[in-house]
Chain A
Amino acid sequence: MTAVIEAPQIKRQSKSAQMRKYGFFPGCVAKESCKELFNSTMLLAEKLGIELVELTAAACCGASVLNDTNRDVARVLNARTYAQAEALGLDDVITICSTCTGHMRAANKELLESEAHMGQANAILGKFGAKYNGGVMVRHLLWLLIDDIGLDNLKKMVVNPLNGLKVAPFYGCHIIRPESVNGWESSRNPHSLEDIIEALGGEAIDYAGKTRCCGFHVQLEKEGIAPAMVGQNMRMAKDKGAEAVLTPCPLCHLALDGYQADSAARWGRTDLPTFHLPQLVGLALGIDPSLLGLNKHIVSPGLVLQAHDLAPAHVA
């Protein structure tokens, strides 16, 4: 009776990749408390010569929580988002948040694998004249950088190498797990962030915490849980010599950046600045550091950036 987990089809030559024009789903946090993520993503897209068409009428992906209230609503909301991308002739929806990635991919998988789910979604979408034909793939900016831009090209574009900056990758659960939904790389031994860090001239730190949970989703449920999870992981990174953290997820960013002050009492001071993916890539590709929102961090990256001659004192 054991189910066989099949890795989903991921790598494809999409129409969006050929046109270098993608549907873009920034997610709620990049529009609210982490605007620096949204802004640095748009600057990076310009630098890469790709167009990100924001799906402005899209609803929240469900944030991994909407499924707790109703089993259908997040799936149908996401079907509406995919229909909007299809109506624009775009077959990739690019995300910049691990949780958006995982939950939008899970919804898409359910829609594509079940006629009943697709029928239910389209019956509701039909009420306002929309239809999802099943042609969309949800991909994270991290995957776009590696599959569509390519590490070699990225390396060639670096004008401001990270000068050996020791960066600890922090993936965030929902971009790697469950593998039946994501499957773009091994969830136990991912290395895409390490590949990016090294392409930018940094040194990737290997530590057990990189695939563990930041605790963001339970920060309000019980006091102390999220700070403990942050402290545990950041201690491991710090002990391996990390000077900074890189994450593809703004929820991880908020937890890691926000809770190191609270975790210090139990886990010791770690004070690791936590970069959003497009901030660090943008910095190395020569985007004006003062535009990347490096001053919007609780743990300031200023000293680390100055030590590696990456940004002047006033920007962070």
Chain B
Amino acid sequence: MSFFLDIYRYDSATDEVPHRDRVECDLPTTMTVLDALENVKAEKDGSISFRRSCRAAICGSCSMNINGTTGLACKTPVDSVLRSDNTVAVDPMPNFQPMKDLVVHMDPFWDKYSRLKPYLQPVDNDSDHATERRVSPEDMHKLVAVANCVMCATCYALCPVVSVDPAFAGPAAIAYAYRFIEDVRDSKRKERAAQISDDYLWLCAHCYACSYCPKHVDPQDDIIAVKRATIEEGLTNHPGPRHALVIAKTIKQTGMLHETEVIQGTVGRFNIKGLIKVAPLGIRIALAGKMPPVFLKPVPKVNEIKLIFDTLEAPVLA
């Protein structure tokens, strides 16, 4: 059985615009997309460029867009993605500048990673290395998933926030921040939390696009844990933590997320400039006749809700 590869072709050094090559592959559809590309490169067109090395989802090189969604070509069987027109379209990862064919400029991704100082900065200053730094199995367990990250940038390519604001650190970098923030041997928890906060940690839109991680790192849980760490470290003077804490406050008080109070609490009640910025949407909502209530009656048995917050010592906006 044969199928077609529809390949994005572009050389930033010579081409004004990209074009596509449609190549027939007389190959079994049980092979991976990477094997199909390798075959085309070896047998039909040696000029096609793509990154690859291990062919076993360990090196993280061959991430690309496959029929509109990003993943590792070496881990994607052709028959799992084959379109009804018997074609697999391969494109460079979105959210990156194409360099040549399926190869992209990875610099923004690595820059965000480097900013984290991605190496252990230990608690003591034990220059003669006389003592072991021991980690309990429970503490190590927290780092196992993120240790599987192969930095393939699939999550970064899929992130809708990166697509509209390249300043956002992106899922992989935040997962790596988590890896050091939660490492009991590291001494820079607060500095790391502050750094990632400045790199727009709180811009994560909770969309779970990074749940398509081919290595099941699932950065969204790490992102949530890093947010908790920033609150624990007292780094709450940002709209993000204020937003989370004022929501907690209104739920504790009324049982409900009180929309009008949440907006004021996030922007800051006395932040006139900030409030003016959010005003146009408020006015549009009011004109449509759907202004949320300014006062909210607590739900029945709200004391049970307060008890849950107090028992768990859950923080709320002061």
Binding site for B on A (CB under 8 A): 1-3, 5, 28-29, 31-36, 56-60, 62-73, 76-77, 80, 102, 124, 127-128, 130, 173-174, 177-180, 188, 208, 212-213, 215-218, 220-225, 228-229, 232, 254, 257-259, 261-262, 295-298
Count of chain A to chain B residue pairs whose CB atoms are closer than 8 Å in the complex: 205
CB pair B259 A57 closer than 8 Å: no
Bound Cα distance A16, B265 (Å): 39
Interface centre among B161, B245, B251, B289 (most CB of A within 10 A): B251
Q: Give the contacting residue for A2; candidates B215, B243, B300; CB below 8 A.
A: B215
CB pair A222 B292 closer than 8 Å: no
Note all chain A residues with C-beta closer than 8 A to B247. Answer: 60, 63, 65-66
CB pair A32 B299 closer than 8 Å: no
Bound Cα distance A150, B164 (Å): 39
Q: Mark B276-291, 1 if CB is under 8 A from A, else 0.
A: 0110110011011111
Bound Cα distance A46, B137 (Å): 55
Q: Mark B184-209, 1 if CB is under 8 A from A, else 0.
A: 00000000000000001011111111
27 A-B contacts (beta carbon < 8 Å): A1-B144, A28-B257, A32-B293, A56-B300, A57-B255, A65-B243, A66-B251, A67-B228, A69-B245, A70-B228, A70-B315, A73-B308, A76-B308, A77-B308, A124-B308, A124-B311, A130-B304, A173-B206, A212-B207, A217-B206, A221-B239, A221-B240, A228-B165, A229-B205, A261-B280, A297-B288, A298-B284
Note all chain A residues with C-beta closer than 8 A to B266. Answer: 220
Q: Mark B285-313, 1 if CB is under 8 A from A, else 0.
A: 10111111100100111001101110111
Separation in Å of the A68 CB from the closest CB of chain B? Answer: 4
Beyond known contacts A65-B247, A254-B285: 4 more, CB 8 A cutoff: A34-B290, A65-B243, A80-B305, A258-B284
Interface centre among B144, B256, B263 (most CB of A within 10 A): B256
Binding site for A on B (CB under 8 A): 68-69, 144-145, 147-148, 160-161, 163-165, 200, 202-209, 211-212, 215-216, 218, 220, 224-225, 227-228, 231, 239-241, 243-245, 247-248, 251, 255-259, 263, 266-267, 277-278, 280-281, 284-285, 287-293, 296, 299-301, 304-305, 307-309, 311-316
CB pair B164 A177 closer than 8 Å: no
CB pair A63 B309 closer than 8 Å: no
Bound Cα distance A229, B186 (Å): 37
CB pair B311 A60 closer than 8 Å: no
Asked whether A213 and B299 contact (CB < 8 A) given A208-B68, A259-B281, A261-B284, the answer is no
Complex A-B, nearest 7 residue pairs according to Cβ-Cβ distance, in ascending order: A213-B207, A177-B208, A178-B211, A228-B164, A32-B292, A70-B314, A33-B292
Bound Cα distance A76, B247 (Å): 16
CB pair B208 A174 closer than 8 Å: yes
Query: Closest chain B residue to A121 by CB distance?
Result: B308
Note all chain B residues with C-beta closer than 8 A to A218. Answer: 161, 202-205
CB pair A60 B239 closer than 8 Å: no
Asked whether A28 and B304 contact (CB < 8 A) given A64-B206, A212-B160, the answer is no
Separation in Å of the B206 CB from the closest CB of chain A? Answer: 5
CB pair B300 A57 closer than 8 Å: yes
CB pair A76 B312 closer than 8 Å: yes
Q: Give the contacting residue for A69; candidates B160, B228, B296, B307; CB below 8 A.
A: B228
Separation in Å of the B81 CB from the closest CB of chain A? Answer: 10
Note all chain A residues with C-beta closer than 8 A to B240. Answer: 221
CB pair A221 B208 closer than 8 Å: no
Bound Cα distance A174, B277 (Å): 28
Bound Cα distance A67, B208 (Å): 14
Note all chain A residues with C-beta closer than 8 A to B288. Answer: 257, 295-298
CB pair A177 B308 closer than 8 Å: no
Asked whether A35 and B203 contact (CB < 8 A) given A59-B299, A69-B248, A69-B314, the answer is no
CB pair A2 B148 closer than 8 Å: yes
CB pair A68 B280 closer than 8 Å: no
Separation in Å of the B148 CB from the closest CB of chain A? Answer: 6
Note all chain B residues with C-beta closer than 8 A to A127. Answer: 307, 311
Interface centre among A72, A179, A188, A218 (most CB of B within 10 A): A218
Asked whether A58 and B308 contact (CB < 8 A) given A1-B144, A32-B292, A213-B160, the answer is no
Bound Cα distance A300, B198 (Å): 39
CB pair A57 B299 closer than 8 Å: yes
Query: Closest chain A residue to B282 by CB distance?
Result: A258
Bound Cα distance A177, B206 (Å): 10
Query: Closest chain B residue to A223 by CB distance?
Result: B277
CB pair A32 B259 closer than 8 Å: yes
Asked whether A222 and B165 contact (CB < 8 A) given A59-B299, A72-B314, the answer is yes
Note all chain B residues with C-beta closer than 8 A to A130. Answer: 304
Note all chain B residues with C-beta closer than 8 A to A32. Answer: 256, 258-259, 292-293, 296
